[in-house]
Structure 1
Amino acid sequence: MKLQLIRNATLRIQYAHLELLVDPMFSDAKANPPVFNSANDRRNPLVPLPFSMTDMLRPNAVLVTHLHPDHWDQDAIDALPKSTPILCQPGDEDTLASQGFASVTAVQESLEYEGISIIRTGGRHGTGEIGQMMGQVSGFILKAEGHPTLYIAGDTIWCDEVKEALDAHKPDMTVVNAGGARFLTGDPIIMDEDDVIELLRYAPYTKAVAVHMEAINHCLVTREALSGRLAAEGLGSRIEIPQDGQWVEWKA
């Protein structure tokens, strides 16, 4: 198993015999306005793609965790062939089909796809009213005979749903969206340094890969800050914090 961080939460995953594209956001740097009610006015995405989007347009399938525009944007909708198989959470399939995609499958609980088990997990995209306003989000577990188990946690904070996924599936590798995104009021809406530390302490059997950092203006946790905190906690060897375009390969 190998995965490549493209930018933000966009991943290319080589798993078993398939190549999966996760949460494609293809917008040019600074093409979009800042996130509303955030602490700075930097335009999004903050950084360009590390290479041309044409290198990513022929995956075996696309996995969309939810439809927020930093995970599924108009540039991806326009660029991807409409015959591309799309896997999504329940409730998003009609929107994806209305965008012209001819093969859209909602993963209700689990799905066998080309010999890979894809299991949907829950999450919380923040707390209180903000968390409710952010709507439903999902993570996904990938399992296949003879391959490590991968958990893509998605846009979630550390919560009971994440604990349940870890307990049920004991993933070898867990992808965490760790940019600590937040608005001017309220708590973070995805994991921050404290959440990643909690996850690694709770699940000593998993290795984390931290993404969703330094690409959207309301994500305030930097790679350097996360690396420093984890090193201070003695957890630095249990996490990879890739740069855009960097591959991470599973090693037992």
Structure 2
Amino acid sequence: MKIHHLRSATFVIESGEHYILIDPMLGGKGSMPPFSVFRFKAAKNPTVDLPKNANALLSKVNQSLITHSQTFGFKPLQHGDHLDPAGEKFLIEQKVPVTTLSKDQAYLEKYGMTVANGLTPWQTTPFLGGSITAVPAQHGHGWIHKVMANGCGFFLQLPNEPSLYISGDTVLTPDVRKALSELKPDITVVATGQAQMDVGQPLLMSSDEVMEFIRLSPNKVIANHMEALNHCPIDRDTLKRSLEAEGLNDKVLIPQDGETLEF
């Protein structure tokens, strides 16, 4: 298995003939408005462009997983950092089969995407000769997660490959703990940017939660969702310092945009 990190939460899983695109935010630098204008410095998103190898990888994509997309079915509230207009256009024009939560299926189909699998949380579904399980995600602490419309993570088991748990946009919950302890993934992916809007509590795990997630993970951890969005204050260097202070740096991979990890 190869994991090609593109930007923020967007990456491509390569397994044999399968190229699986995760959470496609594919627009150019500054193609979306700021996600915070008071708490953090206002800047259009994404704050960086896709890496130079992105187009070559995207040309091979034949599946997509979307952890979350819609809020109350209202298009202006779509989570553009996981599915932006350029990502939509790509999925529609290339007719890429999408796997997502069943609650998001009708929304994506309404806007022209092809949903091959609408998943029910904790129900295992056949996928590419292996299986996929949706793990509930809670997109924030306090009341804000209800406004954010919670998505999911994915536990992926492909033939002759290490198992992979993409935790998605979530805080540390009993469901996340269950996925780590019972599913025992060989690789986990965690969003570490500590995103926060101008109102409400953080949308992702705090530093303490991230460290606990890493300790609970049975094997290697990949950190993402950093250095591409103006409402995510944690950068790679800050995370590295936290990991070193906790003695966890050897367990965690922090890929640069455009970097490939091989397992």
Of 173, 194, 211, which residue of structure 1 is paired with 2:187?
Answer: 173
* Letter of the 1:76 counterpart: G
* Letter of the 1:107 counterpart: L
Aligned-partner Cα distance in 1 for 2:238–2:53: 29
Aligned-partner Cα distance in 2 for 1:152–1:229: 21
Aligned equivalent of 1:182 = 196
Q: Do the aligned partners of 1:31 and 1:44 also contact (CA within 8 Å) in 2?
A: yes
Of 118, 121, 131, which residue of structure 2 is paired with 1:106?
Answer: 118
Of 81, 85, 92, which residue of structure 2 is paired with 1:70?
Answer: 81
Of 58, 61, 68, which residue of structure 2 is paired with 1:59?
Answer: 61
Aligned-partner Cα distance in 2 for 1:207–1:165: 15
Q: Do the aligned partners of 2:108 and 2:115 also contact (CA within 8 Å) in 1?
A: no
What RMSD over aligned residues (CA atoms) do the two structures have, in Å? 1.6
Q: Do the aligned partners of 1:93 and 1:104 also contact (CA within 8 Å) in 2?
A: no
Q: Secondary structure at the match of 2:138?
A: coil
Q: How many residues are aligned here?
A: 249
* Letter of the 2:61 counterpart: P
Which structure 2 residue ranges, 5 or more long, are not aligned? 70-78
Q: Secondary structure at the match of 1:14?
A: strand
Q: Secondary structure at the match of 2:44?
A: coil
The aligned runs of 1:23-102 (5 Å cut-off) are 23-36=23-36, 38-51=39-52, 54-55=55-56, 56-67=58-69, 68-80=79-91, 81-102=93-114
Post-superposition offset of 1:116: 1.8
1:239 aligns with 2:252: yes
Aligned equivalent of 1:2 = 2
% identity of equivalent residues: 35
1:116 aligns with 2:94: no
Q: Deviations over 1:39-88 (max 9, x none)?
A: 22111100001126543044121001111110001111112335211111
Q: Do the aligned partners of 2:36 and 2:42 also contact (CA within 8 Å) in 1?
A: no
Aligned-partner Cα distance in 1 for 2:234–2:112: 36
Post-superposition offset of 1:179: 0.3
Aligned-partner Cα distance in 2 for 1:206–1:122: 21
Aligned equivalent of 2:239 = 226
* Letter of the 1:101 counterpart: M
